[in-house]
């Protein structure tokens, strides 16, 4: 059995066939606000990949970075009048609590941008010595005209790339640019911002370079799978691929995987609209396993709208699973286990996997079959989806609502 997953760069579902040890890099958070449902959906998706790969006998090394220096965290720290690193520490701690509550596998390593400055500078230095950069007024840019493959991850045309660059933090009209899509590797810091000495002048890293540097430092030049939310396809991942490819002469990753965005009741979830659904609030009201079950209804490549009542379905399903797991007999669980594994291998068809689980629970509850291993099979099947039904469930998860 082999997982088949959609690869953004190839634009199709392809077999994902890594070696015994899988290297995975998932772009992490900028720790300036609480974890919301969109984060949870993204990290849940990669968690399911990890669980299935482990089930197939692989060992997975997943690295997830922390962007603890960029415009958003510095802006928020300024607004709150606190030190940006203190803000990062407290937000990372709540992020870990939320992820642990959702039973998401912890990262094997979680490097921080501010602790990776030397590897970032080493990478920029290599790009400079091979003629891929230029520096204007204290800012060092990557010259995209020096790299033929620019655009190979997203497949976007130039107009689309320019539009996304403008929307997502860059300024294609910056008069210092040789080409509108050139991107910042190193920039001068404002007076009240942190600054590091460098051969390119004092300053701080651009957004994209940190992930290339940290992926390389933690996992090597080419990783098996790299991903994040689909708003990272361009410019973030395009720029990562370009600078890593230019520096190393080999691709950054063998497979690109992106997770669609979550809206809230018809409107895009965003900080500025104030309609973020925070995991902290949701998990205080509901068993986190019900949140997982509700999210599993949606395919990771299909954006969806979350409605408050969506949690009800997860609560009902969880209740049925828990009751069924306590029954002494039921049908043979083997076909369900096979169906769930096949569904996960089919580009993570979580809805089909969840329905198969629910059908087995339904059959057990209906008194079908006399197999004494049915409940154990149900528990194993639920485990493939990260739903714990055994005695290891923390008491704090169990809600009476
Ligand atoms: Zn990244």
- How far is it, in rounded angstroms, from Cα 120 to Cα 124? 6
| Cα 358 to ligand 1 centroid, rounded to whole Å | 36
CB 140 within 8 A of CB 134: yes
- Placement of tokens 């197939």 in the chain: 56
- How far is it, in rounded angstroms, from Cα 259 to Cα 281? 23
DSSP 236: I
- How far is it, in rounded angstroms, from Cα 354 to Cα 44? 14
| Cα 11 to ligand 1 centroid, rounded to whole Å | 20
Neighbours of 204 (CB within 10 A): 23
Structure tokens that stand for 197 in this block: 């000495």
CB 163 within 8 A of CB 171: no
CB 203 within 8 A of CB 186: yes
| Cα 142 to ligand 1 centroid, rounded to whole Å | 17
Partners of 346 in the β-ladder: 4
| Cα 266 to ligand 1 centroid, rounded to whole Å | 28
| Cα 120 to ligand 1 centroid, rounded to whole Å | 13
- Alpha carbon separation from 382 to 98, 246, 321, 378 (Å, rounded): 21, 44, 8, 6
| Cα 237 to ligand 1 centroid, rounded to whole Å | 7
- How would DSSP label each residue in 316-378? HHHHHHHHHHT-S-BS-SHHHHHHHHHHHHBT--HHHHHHHHHHHHHHHHTT---BTTHHHHH
The reported pLDDT for the residue numbered 366 is 98
Phi first, then psi, for residue 349 (nearest 5°) are -80, 80
| Cα 43 to ligand 1 centroid, rounded to whole Å | 14
Give the distance between the most distant pair of CA atoms in the chain.
Answer: 77
Neighbours of 77 (CB within 10 A): 20
Spell out where 117-182 has E strands.
Answer: 133-136, 139-142
| Cα 351 to ligand 1 centroid, rounded to whole Å | 28
Structure tokens that stand for 372 in this block: 């004494």
The reported pLDDT for the residue numbered 240 is 98
Angle at 310 between CA 307 and CA 311, to 5 degrees: 125
Neighbours of 267 (CB within 10 A): 10
| Cα 282 to ligand 1 centroid, rounded to whole Å | 27
The reported pLDDT for the residue numbered 391 is 80
| Cα 152 to ligand 1 centroid, rounded to whole Å | 17
| Cα 90 to ligand 1 centroid, rounded to whole Å | 21
The reported pLDDT for the residue numbered 400 is 54
- Residues (pLDDT < 50) of the chain are none
| Cα 233 to ligand 1 centroid, rounded to whole Å | 10
What are the structural domains, with CATH classification, of the chain?
Answer: 19-262 (3.40.50.620), 286-302+309-391 (1.20.120.640)
- How far is it, in rounded angstroms, from Cα 211 to Cα 217? 10
Phi first, then psi, for residue 64 (nearest 5°) are -135, 120
- How far is it, in rounded angstroms, from Cα 68 to Cα 111? 10
| Cα 330 to ligand 1 centroid, rounded to whole Å | 46
């Amino acid at each position: 059995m082999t997982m088949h997953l959609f690869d953004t760069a190839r634009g199709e579902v392809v077999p994902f066939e890594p070696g015994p040890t899988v290297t995975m890099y998932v772009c992490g958070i900028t720790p300036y606000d609480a974890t919301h449902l969109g984060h949870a959906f993204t990290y849940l998706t990669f968690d399911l990949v990890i669980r299935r790969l482990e089930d197939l006998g692989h060992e997975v090394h997943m690295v997830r970075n922390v962007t603890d220096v960029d415009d958003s965290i510095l802006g928020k720290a300024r607004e709150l009048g606190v030190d940006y690193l203190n803000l990062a520490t407290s937000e990372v701690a709540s992020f870990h609590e939320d992820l642990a509550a959702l039973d998401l596998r912890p990262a094997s390593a979680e490097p921080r941008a501010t602790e990776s400055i030397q590897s970032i500078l080493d990478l920029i230095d290599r790009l400079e010595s091979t003629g891929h950069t230029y520096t204007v007024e204290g800012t060092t840019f990557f010259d995209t005209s020096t790299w033929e493959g620019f655009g190979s991850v997203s497949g976007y045309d130039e107009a689309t790339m320019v539009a996304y660059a403008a929307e997502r933090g860059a300024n294609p009209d910056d008069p210092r640019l040789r080409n509108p899509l050139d991107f910042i590797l190193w920039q001068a810091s404002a007076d009240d911002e942190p600054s590091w000495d460098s051969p390119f002048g004092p300053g701080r890293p651009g957004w994209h370079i940190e992930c290339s540097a940290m992926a390389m430092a933690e996992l090597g030049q080419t990783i098996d799978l790299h991903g994040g939310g689909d708003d990272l396809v361009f410019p973030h991942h395009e720029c990562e691929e370009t600078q890593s490819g230019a520096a190393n002469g080999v691709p950054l990753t063998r497979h690109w995987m992106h997770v669609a965005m979550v809206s809230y009741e018809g409107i895009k979830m965003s900080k500025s609209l104030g309609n973020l659904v925070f995991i902290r609030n949701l998990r205080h009201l509901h068993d986190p396993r019900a949140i997982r079950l509700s999210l599993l209804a949606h395919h990771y490549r299909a954006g969806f709208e979350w409605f408050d009542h969506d949690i009800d379905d997860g609560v009902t399903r969880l209740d049925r699973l828990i009751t069924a797991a306590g029954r002494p007999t039921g049908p043979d669980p083997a076909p369900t286990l096979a169906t769930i594994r096949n569904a996960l291998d089919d580009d993570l068809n979580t809805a089909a996997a969840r329905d198969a689980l629910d059908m087995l629970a339904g059959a057990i509850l209906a008194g079908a079959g006399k197999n004494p291993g049915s409940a154990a099979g149900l528990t194993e099947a639920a485990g493939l989806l990260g739903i714990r039904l055994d005695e290891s469930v923390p008491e704090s998860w169990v809600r009476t609502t």
